[in-house]
Amino acid sequence: MSVIMVSPDELIREVKPWEPSSWRYFINEYVVPLKVLGEVVVKQFAGDPSTEVVRALVGPANHVIEIAKKVIGDINEEFEAPSDPIECLRLLIEKSANTFLGVDEGGKYTLIAWTLRKLTKEYLFEALYPTLKDDEKRKATFNILGVRELFKPPVKSPIAENLTIIGYPDYATFGRVEEWGDYITLRILPVQERTLGGALSRLVDGIVAVLARPGILSGIEVSADVVKVYLDRSPSVPPELPRYCIMELPWKAGYKHLGEHVPWKYDSAWAIKGFSLKCASRIYSDSEDLIHMETDFLSFTRLIMPSLVVGRVELLLSADGRVLMVLVRTL
C-alpha cells in the first residue's frame, strides 16, 4: 500500500480525467469489485452492524456504475467474489483501502474527483490543476464528472467570476433555512441531478465508514489507518476562523450526516451579503447580531481553500446564498 507523493498537476496529467477510458479503467478495476463484494457481505452477514456501512458503500458504487454507463459508455461488471465469506470481508477492506484518497492506483482517481467536489475557479486554475486551463481538457473533465457552477458572489465585479465556487450539485452543497435567530438550521436539499463526481465523492464517504470496521469487520487486520494518515497530512482548519462558527463532522458517519434531508443546527454561522461575510451567533432573515468575525469573500475563500479541497473542511450553503456553514471532518 503506497501513498501518492506527486504534485496535483502532475497527478492530473498522469490520470487524464478528460479521457473516458481512464474512468472506465478505474470503475472496472476498483468500483465494480467494491460493489460485488459489498453485496455479498450484506447478504452473508445480515443483522451485523457492519452491513449498514457496507450499504453506504454499495449504494454510491451502484450510482457510479449507472451514471458512468450514460456518460462514458459500457462498463464491465464481471467480478467473481470468493466463496469464503471471511475472505470477502478481507478483500472488501483491502480494496476499500486501496481505493481511498491518494492510496495506490485507485486512490489517484478518487483523489481527483474528491478535490473537484467544491472549490473556487481561482484556486482550481492557479493552485491546484493549471493543466485544466486548457479549454478542451477542462470541458471534457467537467462533462464527465458533472462539475457545475454552485455559487457566485452576488456582486457585479470582475473578481466575482474567479471566486465562483464550482463542484458537484449532488454532494451536500445546498440546504433550506428552517430556523433563524439564536439557532440556524439548514436542511440539506434532495438531489435533483446525479453526477459521476458526486457519486464518487459519496463512495469516498462510504469507504471511510467501512474502514472504521464496525461489527464483524473489526476482526480484519489492516496494515495502516489510511483515513487517519490522510487527515493528519491534510491542511488544518485555519486558526483565523472563530471556533464559534465551525462544526465537527465525524467522517466515519459522514454518509449519514451529509445525506438528503438531514438538518444541521448550530448556534453560529456565516451571513453572506455581497462580498461581506460575518460569523454571528444570531442570524435573522434581514440582520445579524453577536458578530464574532467579519471578513470578505476573497479573503475567506483564499484562507479556507487548501483545507476545503482536500476535504478537511466542508461547506454548506443555503439555497438562497445568504447563509454558509463550515464543517470540519474528524476521526
Note whether 92 and 41 are within 8 A (CB).
yes
Q: What are the tens digits of pLDDT across the range 88-105?
A: 999 999 999 999 999 999
Going by C-beta distance under 8 Å and a sequence separation of 6 or more, which residues neighbour residue 22? 15, 16, 109
Residue carrying the nine cell digits 436542511? 187
Query: What is the rounded CA–CA span in Å between residue 4 and residue 135?
Result: 27
Q: Round to the nearest angstrom and report the end-to-end CA distance of the chain.
A: 21
Going by C-beta distance under 8 Å and a sequence separation of 6 or more, which residues neighbour residue 276? 294, 296, 297
Quote the distance between the C-alpha of residue 68 and its chain's center: 18
Nearest Cα neighbor of 93 from 251, 229, 252, 208 is 208
pLDDT at 5 over 80: no
Quote the pLDDT of residue 3.
55
Nearest Cα neighbor of 111 from 234, 250, 24 is 234
Q: What is the mean pLDDT of residues 277-290?
A: 93
pLDDT at 123 over 90: yes
pLDDT at 120 over 60: yes
Tell me the torsion sign for CA atoms 31, 230, 262, 153. Answer: negative
Domain boundaries, the chain: 8-330
- The CA–CA distances, whole Å, from 166 to 11, 37, 58, 280 equal 20, 33, 27, 25
Q: Could you give the angle at which helices 196-211 and 85-99 cross, rounded to 10 degrees?
A: 120
Going by C-beta distance under 8 Å and a sequence separation of 6 or more, which residues neighbour residue 127? 305
Query: What is the rounded CA–CA span in Å between residue 200 and residue 5?
Result: 22
Q: What are the tens digits of pLDDT across the range 258-280?
A: 999 999 999 999 999 999 999 99
Quote the pLDDT of residue 6.
77
Q: When comparing pLDDT for 126 and 154, which is higher?
A: 126
Q: What are the tens digits of pLDDT across the range 128-173?
A: 999 999 999 999 999 999 999 999 998 888 899 999 999 999 999 9
| pLDDT tier for residue 1 given thresholds of 50, 70 and 90 | low
- The CA–CA distances, whole Å, from 234 to 48, 93, 101, 291 equal 33, 23, 11, 29
Q: What are the tens digits of pLDDT across the range 54-98?
A: 999 999 999 999 999 999 999 999 999 999 999 999 999 999 999
State the burial class of residue 13 (Cβ atoms within 10 Å of its Cβ: 0-12, 13-18, 19+): middle
Q: What are the tens digits of pLDDT across the range 295-331?
A: 999 999 999 999 999 999 999 999 999 999 999 999 9
The percentage of residues in the chain with a pLDDT greater than 70, rounded to a whole number, is 98
